[in-house]
A and B are shown apart, each in its own frame.
Chain A
Amino acid sequence: MAQKQPPSVDFTLDVRGESCPYPVIYTLETLAQLQKGQLLQVVADCPASLRNVPEEVVKHGYVLEREPEKDGRELYFYIRA
């Protein structure tokens, strides 16, 4: 599972262990503080996040840089502010 990292992750938000709705809240809050164009990596392990994090960031106008990745029981999202 040695995926290559996208070249320039600016910040990482680690929400492992947190359940809904905090992954979504934290992600949207963090993204709002980033400058446009910066890349945020989100690491989550709440199974529901697989759906609700991508849906909500896209709806709020951010770009999902790649498809969500499952690494074992953890989820990785790359979101461009």
Chain B
Amino acid sequence: MKTLYVRLFQNYWSPFLVMALAGLLSALYFGITGTVWAVTGEFTRLAGHAMALFGADVSSWSYFKLIGMKGTTFTRTDGWIVWGMFAGALIMVLLNNNFKIRAPRQKRRWAQGFAGGIVAGFGARLALGCNLAAFFTGVPQFSLHAWIFMVATAGGTFLGAKLVAAAWWKGKPVVTKGAIARKAAKPSSVQPVLGAIAAVAYAGLVAYLFASGHRMLGVAALFGALFGILIERGQICFTSAFRDLWISGRATMTKAIIVGMAVSSIATLAVILINGMEPITKIAALSTLVGGLLFGIGIVMAGGCETGMMYRLMEGQIVFLPVFLGNVIGAGALAYAWDHMGIYDTLVKSGSKINLIDKLGAGGALAATLIVLALGFAFAAYWQKHYRFKDGFKKGESAHGAKTTAVR
């Protein structure tokens, strides 16, 4: 019992296993609700509610017509996904007795997080999705926009990595001579108890949603919590999946996410074919490219994307509070700029919804997706082997250039 507890709640789970599970669950969630695992659409609606509170008539804004603005966050499945993720992550952090207010020593991180959050929120919504709907759950829908977004995000994170490595941005660490004394006090075990209570309470809430006839909300609340549990337990970080490639050549997260997308692509196609569903396709346009680029820069500035910041915040990394706020503000700003500042006309209008299934057939779409994912995996593994912090790519610059273009 004790060892099971340690294994489940005190040790982190393999990110590969976690992403494969998340891929399966997101396909299942799509099969049940017809929507995908996503968060930033709801962030935008939150911004919309906030702006409405201050008297803006957002009902006439076309962006809100596009994403739908009905009800409140607690009557929408997208809302319950978000709150469920927070709840699931928090329960896990508490069970692990690992909540701690973690305040950055570098005060500049607050401003960096806020600024990054705004840029990432704006970029994600410009592209009509963040690392989930335009990436992790977008690729398995065979929507071309997700591929454009991913490549653009890779580029954006590269620029972001250059920025955060600058001396004025990262700041100086505290290095002292000799060892420092440890605080020997063992933390009390009140957190796991609170975690267990919260888990039971949340399960009750999900049961209530089902019992009161709100089946889809119940499904969303349940899946949201499961996604939150998974990303916290696997310490899944989409930001690091890209950024760490450019900083120190770490590809663990990159590879895990690719595996998850491959699993999810197969499962989602099965769901599409068995249920006779239409895949969710979003507009691929210049906005996808620009949005992905901004998103990539923003998440590196902020140190986390719209998903990662959720469990980080629950761990007590309070620097992600301004990131969250920034995400919502950025998303709201985009919703305003969409028609008020001509973003739709200049960047989106010329685009079109392209789905690989329509172009290549179901089998072709899956094959193409898996092949490109496999190439991406191979690139990540190769990069990890040869890229080093400060020294960059060791094994001949030409090889690196060729490889990069091959994958993009």
Q: Which residues from chain A sit less than 8 Å from chain B, CB to CB?
A: 1-3, 5, 9-22, 24-26, 28-30, 32, 41, 43, 45-48, 50-52, 55-56, 59-60, 71-74, 76
Taking a contact as CB atoms under 8 Å apart, the answer to whether A25 and B165 are in contact is: yes
CA of A33 to CA of B303, assembled, Å: 25
Q: Is the CB of A51 within 8 A of B247?
A: no
- Residues of B within 8 Å of A60, CB to CB, are 248, 388-389
Is the pair B185, A41 in contact by a Cβ cutoff of 8 Å? no
- Closest Cβ of chain B to A4, distance in Å, is 11
Contact of A51 among B102, B174, B235, B243 (CB under 8 A): B235
Are B187 and A72 interface neighbours, CB within 8 A? yes
When the two chains form their complex, are residues B176 and A25 in contact, meaning their CB atoms are under 8 A apart? no
What is the distance, in angstroms, from B315's C-beta to the closest C-beta of chain A?
6
Q: Is the CB of A56 within 8 A of B170?
A: no
Q: A25-B247, A56-B389 are in contact. Are A14 and B174 (CB under 8 A)?
A: yes
Contact A12 B303 (CB under 8 A): no
List chain B residues, Cβ under 8 A from A74: 182-183
Residues of A within 8 A of B186 (CB): 1, 72
Chain B residue, CB-CB nearest to A18: B104
Q: How far is the CA of A51 from the CA of B384 in the complex (A)?
A: 15
In the complex, the answer to whether B235 meets A48 with C-beta atoms within 8 Å is yes
Cross-chain contact of B240 among A28, A43, A48, A50 (Cβ < 8 A): A48
Of B100, B237, B249, B319, the contact of A48 (CB 8 Å cutoff): B237
Q: Which residues does chain A contribute within 8 Å of B388, judged by CB atoms? A: 59-60
Query: How many Å lie between the Cα of A41 and that of B185 in the bound state?
Result: 20
Whether B235 lies near A47 (C-beta < 8 A) is yes
Known: A21-B240, A24-B247, A52-B240. A10 touches B178 (CB 8 A): yes
Query: Which residues does chain B contribute within 8 Å of A25, judged by CB atoms?
Result: 164-165, 170, 247-248, 389
Determine the chain A residues whose CB is within 8 A of the CB of B239 once the complex forms: 20
Shortest 7 CB-CB distances between A and B: which pairs?
A9-B179, A26-B173, A73-B100, A72-B187, A28-B389, A17-B105, A12-B180
A2 and B181 CA atoms in complex are apart in Å by 11
Contact indicator per residue, chain B 310-347, by CB within 8 Å of chain A (1) or not (0): 00100101011000000000000000000000000000
CB-CB under 8 A for A21 and B180, given A11-B175, A14-B174, A30-B175 = no
Determine whether B98 belongs to the interface, using a CB cutoff of 8 Å to chain A: yes
Contact B317 A46 (CB under 8 A): yes
Select the residue from A32, A47, A56, A59 with max chain B CB neighbours within 10 A.
A47
Chain B hits for A29, CB < 8 A: 173
Q: Is the CB of A32 within 8 A of B319?
A: no
Q: How far is the CA of A51 from the CA of B14 in the complex (A)?
A: 11
**Are A11 and B178 in touch, CB under 8 angstroms?**
yes
Bound CA span A48–B241, Å: 13
Within the complex, what minimum Cβ distance (angstroms) separates B104 from chain A? 5
Q: A11-B175, A47-B315 are in contact. Are A17 and B244 (CB under 8 A)?
A: no
